[in-house]
Structures are given as structure tokens and as C-alpha cells.
Chain A
Amino acid sequence: MSSMTFDEVFPNLARIVGDALRVDPATITPETNLVIDLNAESIDLVDIRFRVEEAYGFQIEQQAFVAAIAGGTAIDVRELLTMRRLVEFVIRRKGGSV
């Protein structure tokens, strides 16, 4: 079982997302939405996924990545792509529970 916690993972992912989208990580909160608040486009989500894969040592296809973060079947998943959900996805992917 992973010992990773939300408080450990969030700052790292905020840095990763901030680096990709040229946003100050200090302005990113768990409720920040990647698409709505940070204007991430499809290619940006690919970029973020590649960076997350590299940082955490796993591989996932893009469609599954977005679906796993969204965690639902909403027609428009953009509203679900929050930093909190991204952090929780990474923790689950590494064997932890949220």
C-alpha cells in the first residue's frame, strides 16, 4: 500500500501543472479546474499526463487518463478535471486509497 498522502502529492502536481501551463503553482488550489480555470487544451492534458507518468512511473492512455480523473460519466468531463481529482487519481494509481 502506498504511503502517499494528498498533502504530499498535491504540491508536486501543482508544480507539474504550473510548469506545463506557465502558472504560478502557489495560485493553484485543490479546486482549481485544469480546463475551466487554467485553460488547458487537449494537447496540454497530454503534456500533463506525460509529465505525471514520468514523475510517478506509470503509463496510461490519454482517454483512460481523462476518464480516471473525471471519475464519472458526465457528457462534458471538463467540469470534473480538478486538481483534487488529479491528485486522487495519482494516489489511487500508486496503490493508495483516498
Chain B
Amino acid sequence: MITRLLESALITGGSRGIGRATALALAGAGVTRIAIGYVENESAANETCRALESNGAKAMAIRANLALPAGVDRLFDDAAAHLGRLDVFVHCAAIAAFKPLSGTRPNQWDLTMNTNARSFLTGAQRAAAVMTDGGSMVAVSSLGAIRALHNYGAMGPTKAALESIVRGLAVELAPRGVRVNAVSAGLVSGTGVGMLPGAEASIVAAGAQTPMGRVARPEEIASVIKFLCEPSSNWITGQTIIADGGWSLV
């Protein structure tokens, strides 16, 4: 595998939480062109772009609804001129209905699965087409992929699909020097789950159940993602790295 500097990155769900932290981590590592996708909060996306610019990167925010294939296409089409070649694709975007899986409705399943999992597949297909000189893709998963979490709804199945997509693409794209991995986190403060009403109690409870004694900060997940993007991890592909402060061990 050719070792070279990373220059460009496209990050879905990049306006807030883990996506924002990842964008900033990559900018700090010298990535000079970064595009972030968002769907819900334009002011947060613009603020993240300003933070990236102040870290020396040229940043672009693109509003795209990843529940639709056309939204994924819009994201990549709009980012193409800004990014030039693509070195890194990170998929953080997710939507969830926190309720029992047994009560999940078909439209809720479709929206969750399409946003969380299908968009990674279609995005990775677009990314692979322009990663002509190798590259790295990372998807943000969760422990709900392998464990039954209370009121996690369709989120767990979407993350299981995501991890399966990671393994399949890793094998298919390895001959081209494109690595595909996932990072699985426990509860992370400042993310979608952490911002729900009543999340404070959940964060305290999850922290108490975590050997490290607290939940993760977005930056702690971003640093793992950054590692998986860098040439120093070039022998890792198709893996889901668990970064949960030991929560899944007890």
C-alpha cells in the first residue's frame, strides 16, 4: 500500500457530535479539504465549517437527506469539485426512534435503515469510484449491533447491517488499497442520543456502568476514526473497533 498524506475527507453527519469531532481531528492531522454533510442544523454545520477553516482546512457544508439515494448523490456531486480526489469517507449520520423494536413501524424501519445503513453502502460505492489511489472508509456503529439495548428500536439492526457492509466492502475493495472499518461506541455525550430529553439520567447511569466511570466524549471516538483513516493503520480492514471505556466487558 502506498503511504501518502491524506488531503481530503467527506463526513456525513458532520455538523455535530462524533462527525464534527472527526472533521476537526482530521483537520488537525493535516487534511486540507473537508466536506461535511448534514440535514438538520444549518447553523451548526456552518459553525463547524468555521472551526475547520480556523484549523487550516477548506470546508464545505452540504445539506443532503441521506434517507434518499438522490440525497447521497447530491452529497457526492456537490462535494466533488471542493474535494478533488477523495482520501477519506466517514459515515456518522444516523437517525433513530428510541422505542421497542417490537413496536417499530415499517416506515420507521425504512427511514432508519435507509439513513443509517443503505446510505453508507451507496456512499461507499460513490467514494470507491473516486478513490483511485487507495483510501479509507469508516462507519460509526454502536454496541446495539451485537447486543440487545433497551428501547433501541431499529437502530441496532441498522448498525448490524452497517458492520456487515463494512466486512463485505473491505474484502471487495482491499485489492484497490481501499480500507473499510467501523468504530463501535457506547453512549457518547453531545451526540443524538445524548441530546434527547432525559438523556442526562441515561448518561449518568451509563457512566456508572462503564469501568472507566463515565461515557465517551465525541473527541475520543473521533481519535479512533482518525487512526483508522491514517496510513499507520494500513493493515486493518473489515474490522469493528469497540471504543466504549470497557462498558461491553461487564
Contacts and interface: CB of A to CB of B under 8 A. Distances in A.
Contacts of A22: 105-107
Contact of A47 (B41, B42, B108): B108
B225 interface: no
Interface stretch (A37-45, A73-81, A82-90): A37-45
A12 interface: no
Interface size band for B: 10 to 19
Contacts of B68: 50, 54
Nearest to A21: B107
A43 B113 CA distance: 13
A59 B97 contact: no
A54 B39 CA distance: 13
Contacts of A43: 95-97, 108, 111-112
Nearest to B67: A50
Contacts of A61: 40-42
Given A41-B97, A42-B97, A61-B42, A47 B111 contact: yes
A59 B40 CA distance: 10
Q: Which of the listed residues B68, B99, B106, B111 has the most CB atoms from chain A within 10 Å of its own CB?
A: B111
Interface string B91-124: 0000111010000011110011000000000000
Secondary structure call for the B interface: loop
B107 A47 contact: yes
A23 B122 CA distance: 30
Contacts of A50: 65, 67-68, 111
Size bracket of the A interface: 10 to 19
B198 to A, nearest CB: 13
A54 B114 CA distance: 15
A9 interface: no
A46 interface: yes
A22 B111 CA distance: 14
B106 to A, nearest CB: 7
A44 B105 contact: yes
Contacts of A20: 107
Contact of B111 (A21, A46, A62): A46
B63 interface: yes
Contacts of A19: 107
Contacts of A24: none
A25 B65 CA distance: 25
A8 interface: no
10 contacts: A22-B106, A43-B96, A43-B108, A43-B111, A43-B112, A50-B67, A50-B68, A54-B65, A59-B63, A62-B40
Interface of B: 40-42, 63, 65, 67-68, 95-97, 99, 105-108, 111-112
8 nearest CB pairs, A to B: A43-B97, A20-B107, A47-B111, A43-B108, A47-B107, A61-B40, A50-B65, A50-B67
